[in-house]
Structure 1
Amino acid sequence: MGFKAAKSALIKALKNGDFQHEARGSITVKNLLATGQVTPQEVISIVARCDGSHHSCSEHHQVKGVDVHLIKYSGWYVKFYVIAPDVWFISVHQ
């Protein structure tokens, strides 16, 4: 999945509430969306301003064949993957 498809899936999932959070340590500082410190709409506004130059992709470290997308924009770090119909967040932080 390329940047445009990942961005579209992310925004759609945030609008529809179709997202989950990967369990991990340091969630209080690494996933501000999970803790309610940022809203889905705030994440949408960050990601909507991004283009492909803000994006990178690599394979999930535990789940082979799953692409993990990383968006770095204006100090924000948004790391997620898509397993339809949901988007799974690993990190949302500054």
Structure 2
Amino acid sequence: MSRSWLRRYAAALTFTENVSASWNPGPSIPLEFVLRLTYNMGTMGFREARQRLVRSLLAGNYQHEIREVVEGKNLLDTGEVSPDEVVALLQRCRGDQYDCAPHHAEPAVPVHVFRPVREGEQWYVKAYLLGKDPDGTDAAVFISVHKSGYTYRGRRR
């Protein structure tokens, strides 16, 4: 899917809270695109999620989700990657390298997934926000920070 195609449809489509049951987008709009737009209605988008995660990292206001196997899955937790490196990864990420899905244990919690590419290698950053602390900074919980194992050859993304 090209970005210009998405921009045209995003500009042409207007969603309201109660979309008519008779509304039919037609066969030219992929169902995945419609579901992604409707699922994320009312929640924060890519830029806001990225900004809030960056602010929490810079303020040192972050935690790591407890998991049985940490090695290789959360390089931020093991100290192999610094918070500044994760900030650089997040700032490198584009909107088409972002997704938001419910947490597996608590569906009401949106989990933000970033897949930036650095030096030809794709990374995987998965986190969620706990909300603001009394001082106004966001608290974040990082689930995963690691290389995805996918490499890009040729043009750099």
Q: TM class by shorter-chain length?
A: over 0.9
The equivalent position to 2:140 in structure 1, one of 64, 68, 87, is: 87
Deviation at 1:54, TM superposition (A): 0.7
Choose from 45, 70, 76 the match for 1:33: 76
Q: Over the residues paired in the alignment, what is the CA RMSD in angstroms?
A: 0.8
Which one-letter code corresponds to 1:84 in the other structure?
Answer: G
Higher alpha-carbon Rg: 2
| 5+ long unaligned stretches in structure 1 | none
Task: Please point out which of 30, 51, 54 is paired with 1:11.
Answer: 54
Please state how far the C-alpha of 1:71 moved relative to its aligned partner.
0.4
**Aligned with 1:5: secondary structure?**
helix
Q: Distance in 2 between matches of 1:9 and 1:19?
A: 11
Q: Which amino acid aligns with 1:54?
A: Q
Counterparts of 2:45 and 2:109, CA distance in 1: 12
Once residues 12 and 22 of structure 1 are traced to their aligned partners in structure 2, the CA distance between those partners, rounded to angstroms, is 18
Percentage identity across aligned positions? 43
Inter-partner Cα distance in structure 2 for 1:73 and 1:91: 13
Larger relative strand fraction: 1
- Whether 1:47 aligns to 2:90 is yes
Select the structure with the greater relative contact order (CA < 8 A; seq sep ≥ 6).
1
Superposition deviation, residue 64 in structure 1: 2.7
Which residue does the alignment assign to 1:57? 100
Separation in 1, partners of 2:113, 2:107: 17
For 2:75, what is the secondary structure of its paired residue? coil
Q: Is the 8 A contact 2:128 2:142 kept in 1?
A: yes
- After TM superposition, what 4+ stretches of structure 1 lie above 2 angstroms from structure 2? none
The superposition leaves residues 30-81 of structure 1 with CA deviations (integer Å, 9 ceiling, x where unpaired) of 0000000000000001110112111001011111311001001111100000
CA distance in 1, matches of 2:61, 2:106: 20
1:28 partner SS: coil
Q: TM-score, normalised by structure 1?
A: 0.95
